[in-house]
Structure 1
Amino acid sequence: MAKEQIKVVVCGDDSVGKTSLIACLVKDQYIPNLQDFLPPVTIPRDFSSSPYCPKNSVLVDTTSFDLPLLHRELKSADVIWLVYSDHESYDRVALYWMMMFRSLGVNLPVILCKNKCDSYLEEDQSISANEIRAEDKSSEDTKIEDEEFIPILREFKEIETCIKTSARDKFNVNQAFYLCQRAITHPIAPLFDARVGELKPLTVMALKRIFLLSDKDQDGFLNDEELSVLQKRSFSKTIDIHELEFIKKTLVNLSTSPQEYASYTLFVPGKGITKDGFLVLNKLYSEKGRHETTWGILRAFHYTDSLSISDKVLYPKMDIPDTASVELSPLGYRFLVELFLTFDKDNDGGLNDRELEFLFKTTPGIPKLWSETNFPFSTVVNSQACVTLQGWLAQWTMTTFLDYRTTTEYLVYLGIERDARLALQVTKSRKKRRRNGKLYRAPVTDRKVFNCFVVGKPYSGKSSLLESFVGMSFSESYSPTIKPRIGVNSLELKGSKQYYLILQEFGEQEPAILENVEKMKECDVLCLTYDSSDPESFSCLFDLINQHKYLQELPMVFVALKADLDKQQQRCYIQPDDFTDKLFIDHPLHVSSAWSSSLNELFIKLTEAGLEPAKNTPGLAPDVTKEDIDYWQYALVATSAVGFTSLFTFTFFKFFRSLRSDTS
């Protein structure tokens, strides 16, 4: 990426015009009778039209009279502007100056400038090193007008560009300065290997990825519209139709000429530029000294000078308050839906292994979190075991909730054009309330994703529960869960509101997880399972809750699994219904993998427990509100009135009956 400031050291023999070049650049006019040496001059960014130019550039004038100072300046430089003006100073470029740079261990780009060319007023008086080196293979492609540049460019790979200038005529002074800046902002060294005349492997890899991302219809060609979009993204302007036709003509000529590209298909009329054509085009840019074009493309896709994507882009800083969570925004869901539809080539509503491989081709591969959680069987798949759109969105929802940095990283790799943070949204921190001296979580209004830990004795049916949750059929075969497992799916509650529920089972790690108080804070609801057909199963939960008292701070739902089997009396100090009554929460739900309605009821119950924690948090006796007190007062008064009336009626009736008897 661009540096904050670049240091350009202007050096060369005395009287070659170094000071005049600096003064002309700053004042935009030739100034005669200058002093022999100028102090460092700062050039503001506004001076350059390059969007990748640093904030400012420092031009340092030098003199041969103070060699220690010259050496210090060279060692701290970013680029060297080496000036000569006549035959004698030209000879010293190779014999003295380049040897000095090497002896100092200075490995910097050098811009070689022939100054005092007052009679050379042609439009283009610069030539790149790669253009010279490319001449060895194709002399007819390059016209060299000044033979003195050729041998020195071939001998010293440090020299990137040669240019002719005149401070007196203000000729090419700004261009020479721009070349110095370009050597830093658009370095050729990371892109092109001049010794073999080929793009470097990392460059090829980056350009192939950009081609795949730009090929929106995934047909293997960049058509005119896709090229226009790429041009707009890279250079903030539309491509000129004449330039587009010139590019096509160049690639066609290269394909048909009996040279190195004859065996390649670079362009297909009616379809567009191939991947090979895109690579060859960028190779030509490097050979012709137009590598800033390639850098414009690379930087539009966030590549740094090391040909890697910037960490600041992959992992943007986000302010996540304590107890808050991260979810996908509508923009994120829309991007992922479009991605799914683009790569579902057979339109069967699922992504098979080949389609997934192609989708993740622009990334480091399937996320590590997915591999660790048995994707795609951690979410919804179709009958061919291909992840469905519902499962695809659920999987990314889970990824964002558990590790949002993985989501931002992959959104960038997958080609999202906007800031990856816009694809996410941060929920509010959990609030707490107090009832009867006990703190509990307040109702949730802004969350759509809930994290549920499934806990219970081995063989109680936890794994089958997770499999049923993602739509897998029940299997009688049993294998103990060793590694953690996860399942995620979407649910629709009353009012057609959609939520996502993540179920996590921890296998052999369960005891350690339950002892980790910080880890348990990530839990939105605790699903406590036992085998209703096993009389020894519930006692495990009873012991667990009594051992870890802080679990009673979490919303929890008790579940009696395998309800299709004969129910057994639990050999425990207290029975499940009595225990839940003691905790002031609902009795266990009786669930079976064979009863789909009971499963759906459970998953909805778990989601509702995340939405309204108070109803499922142990130890919260029903809160007696003012309305409740008023109701019972009215009921007591009404009952008293009815009782008094009944007593009066009975007494009066008895008195009347007695009186009647006496009269008789």
Structure 2
Amino acid sequence: MAGATSPAASANLAGKSGVRVVVIGDPGTGKSSLVVALATEQFPENVPRVMPPTRLPADYFPDRVPITIIDTSSSPEQKPKLIAECQAADAVVLTYACDRPATLERLSSFWLPELRRLQLKTPVIVVGCKLDLRDEQQVSLEQVMAPIMQSFREIETCIECSALRQIQVPEVFYYAQKAVLHPTAPLFDQEAQSLKPRCVRALKRIFILCDNDKDGALSDVELNDFQVRCFSAPLQHTEISGVKRVVQEKLPEGVNDNGLTLTGFLFLHALFIEKGRLETTWTVLRKFGYDNDIKLRDDLIAMPIKRAPDQTLELTSEVVDFLRGIFNMFDIDNDGALLPSELEELFSTAPENPWSSDPYKDSAEKNVLGGLSLEGFLSKWALMTLRDPANSYANLVYVGYPGEFSSAFTVTRKRRVDRKKQQTLRNVFQCYVFGARGSGKTSLLQSFIGRQPSDALPSNSERFATNSVELPDVCVSLTLIYFQV
């Protein structure tokens, strides 16, 4: 389960048409020599104080994405320019001199804290220049950098090089490009040494999509189809056997009689990442439409339906039937309600549970065990569609809906058309609001409807009172039912 990134796929690498790398560090650490040595493949005799921007062609590295390298001056009067360049960078190469320990100490005492102060989110490649001058008695790079990397998780890679001897000069910028196109942070928790939750959720969805017979495992045929889809090359039978053998030796439950299990699939990706082969996992994610935030790309969930300001979208009967099926599938105990654990499992292939916070969290009635009824489940989807159609569609896709946006939603008639005909064609929603006396129910409803605190709402009875209201510019009637307990 591996492969090189094809030129056709490179255009979609992190949405990047080019990578901007800024080189910073103390004076005399070899910044400009490093840039010249890369561009000319020889050591320069006379090096300018600061090199002009240097551009590497797209075919310089396998990902076929051009790189622009920005050299900088560390003089105090140039600090504003250095800050501006860092803020515009996709990656930062931070240099120290292998023969000057003081420049290594400055990484922790000045440079890395300064990058944090600027609140940069870009990956940092720490580079020890002048490797040819390094004292052989010095401790290894791993020993030197381990405590620094422990304190500064933004460091993606550490490497030593020599511009004079042409040792690992291209590798410096290959790692910088790789850190941008195939970043570690969204995928892997370095401290816990495990895949991050959002990565697990995305890979789980991909596994389910590739498990065509829905037996909970990827057979040899399904594994081969997956390989061809992601890497445009089939796997030989011996390769498939080798992959499963590696998994089974390390994780027996990763393989069963039917093939590679979800546990084994996740283990393989963690193994790739630990071995530095992040491009494998990123290629898989991008083939299935994910961006650098491990969410479906915007162009895949964009709204192609045009609508007037006084029109809204509502779920089609096709989607309602799909949601009924999903509800029944995850209602494991068949009690007619989704317990919190069952709802979490339903959304386990989405980046997160979209209903874990307001305004969805408490927007539908639950039973005494916290279970959500089918009516409540559908009403939450309807509310999400009303408020944020793109998010509603994205979550439909995350939980397995196979249809296009146009098949998921229908547009309500224009409100002005209804007014001319003196008739109404609107959905009706019921929203239940519970709370003790004085807990703020009335204020909540006043705020939602857009009334001032002095505006009266229908009086409460001890049991309930209802009030149908029209939300401004929305073709929906909302029945508010609030209980006093």
Q: Which of the five TM-score ranges fits, normalised by the shorter chain?
A: 0.5 to 0.7
Query: Hey, what's the Cα distance between the residues in 1 that align with 2:30 and 2:205?
Result: 46
Query: Residue 99 of structure 2 aligns to a residue in which SS?
Result: helix
Using the TM superposition, give the Cα deviation of residue 38 of structure 1 relative to its aligned residue in structure 2, in angstroms.
0.8
Q: Of residues 408, 413, 421 in structure 2, which corresponds to 1:440?
A: 421
Alignment partner of 1:88 is 2:84: no
Corresponding letter in the other structure for 1:69: Q
Query: Hey, what's the Cα distance between the residues in 1 that align with 2:379 and 2:112?
Result: 55
Q: Which residue of 2 aligns with 1:320?
A: 307
1:172 to 1:210, Cα distance in 2 relative to 1, 3 A? same
Query: Hey, what's the Cα distance between the residues in 2 that align with 1:194 and 1:401?
Result: 37
1:266 to 1:162, Cα distance in 2 relative to 1, 3 A? farther
Alignment partner of 1:154 is 2:146: yes
Are the counterparts in 1 of residues 314 and 410 from structure 2 also a CA contact under 8 Å?
A: yes
Deviations 1:106-126 (A, max 9, x none): 4764324456779xxxxxxxx
Deviations 1:50-96 (A, max 9, x none): 48x6xx654222355x24536852653553324567x514x345233
Query: Hey, what's the Cα distance between the residues in 1 that align with 2:312 and 2:323?
Result: 22
Q: Of residues 79, 86, 90 in structure 1, which corresponds to 2:91?
A: 79
1:227 to 1:305, Cα distance in 2 relative to 1, 3 A? same
Query: Hey, what's the Cα distance between the residues in 2 that align with 1:147 and 1:252?
Result: 38
Corresponding letter in the other structure for 1:224: D
Alignment partner of 1:411 is 2:396: yes
Q: Which residue of 1 aligns with 2:235?
A: 240
Corresponding letter in the other structure for 1:185: L
Q: Of residues 219, 240, 260 in structure 2, which corresponds to 1:223?
A: 219
Alignment partner of 1:38 is 2:51: yes
Q: Which residue of 2 aligns with 1:19?
A: 32
Alignment partner of 1:276 is 2:263: yes
Corresponding letter in the other structure for 2:22: V
Query: Hey, what's the Cα distance between the residues in 2 that align with 1:317 and 1:441?
Result: 30
Q: Which residue of 2 aligns with 1:99?
A: 109
Larger CA Rg, structure 1 vs 2: 1
Query: Residue 253 of structure 1 aligns to a residue in which SS?
Result: helix
Relative contact order, CA 8 A, sep 6+: which one is greater? 2
1:511 to 1:198, Cα distance in 2 relative to 1, 3 A? closer
1:99 to 1:416, Cα distance in 2 relative to 1, 3 A? farther
Alignment partner of 1:110 is 2:111: no
Query: Hey, what's the Cα distance between the residues in 1 that align with 2:163 and 2:403?
Result: 45
Deviations 1:345-387 (A, max 9, x none): 99x9x99859975545435278988985779xxxxxxxxxx97
Q: What is the aligned-residue identity percentage?
A: 27
Deviations 1:538-587 (A, max 9, x none): xxxxxxxxxxxxxxxxxxxxxxxxxxxxxxxxxxxxxxxxxxxxxxxxxx
TM-score with structure 1 length normalisation? 0.46
Query: Residue 180 of structure 1 aligns to a residue in which SS?
Result: helix
Alignment partner of 1:69 is 2:78: yes
Q: How does 1:630-641 map to 2 (within 5 A)?
A: none
Query: Hey, what's the Cα distance between the residues in 2 that align with 1:175 and 1:49?
Result: 12
Corresponding letter in the other structure for 1:151: Q
Query: Residue 218 of structure 2 aligns to a residue in which SS?
Result: coil
1:224 to 1:164, Cα distance in 2 relative to 1, 3 A? farther
Using the TM superposition, give the Cα deviation of residue 156 of structure 1 relative to its aligned residue in structure 2, in angstroms.
1.7
1:165 to 1:203, Cα distance in 2 relative to 1, 3 A? same
Corresponding letter in the other structure for 1:221: A
Question: How many equivalent pairs are there?
Answer: 401
Query: Residue 179 of structure 1 aligns to a residue in which SS?
Result: helix
Are the counterparts in 1 of residues 211 and 218 from structure 2 also a CA contact under 8 Å?
A: yes
Q: How does 1:559-578 map to 2 (within 5 A)?
A: none
Using the TM superposition, give the Cα deviation of residue 180 of structure 1 relative to its aligned residue in structure 2, in angstroms.
0.6
Q: How does 1:388-537 map to 2 (within 5 A)?
A: 404-405=389-390, 407-415=392-400, 420=405, 423-424=408-409, 426=411, 439-440=420-421, 451=426, 508-510=465-467, 512-513=469-470, 518=473, 522=476
1:18 to 1:284, Cα distance in 2 relative to 1, 3 A? same
Are the counterparts in 2 of residues 360 and 366 from structure 1 also a CA contact under 8 Å?
A: no
1:174 to 1:328, Cα distance in 2 relative to 1, 3 A? farther
Query: Residue 188 of structure 1 aligns to a residue in which SS?
Result: coil
1:111 to 1:270, Cα distance in 2 relative to 1, 3 A? same
Query: Hey, what's the Cα distance between the residues in 2 that align with 1:163 and 1:71?
Result: 28
Corresponding letter in the other structure for 1:440: K
1:273 to 1:153, Cα distance in 2 relative to 1, 3 A? farther
Alignment partner of 1:8 is 2:21: yes
Corresponding letter in the other structure for 1:253: E
Q: How does 1:46-61 map to 2 (within 5 A)?
A: 49-50=62-63, 57-61=67-71
TM-score with structure 2 length normalisation? 0.60
Query: Hey, what's the Cα distance between the residues in 2 that align with 1:93 and 1:229?
Result: 51
Query: Hey, what's the Cα distance between the residues in 2 that align with 1:405 and 1:80?
Result: 35
Query: Hey, what's the Cα distance between the residues in 2 that align with 1:338 and 1:95?
Result: 61
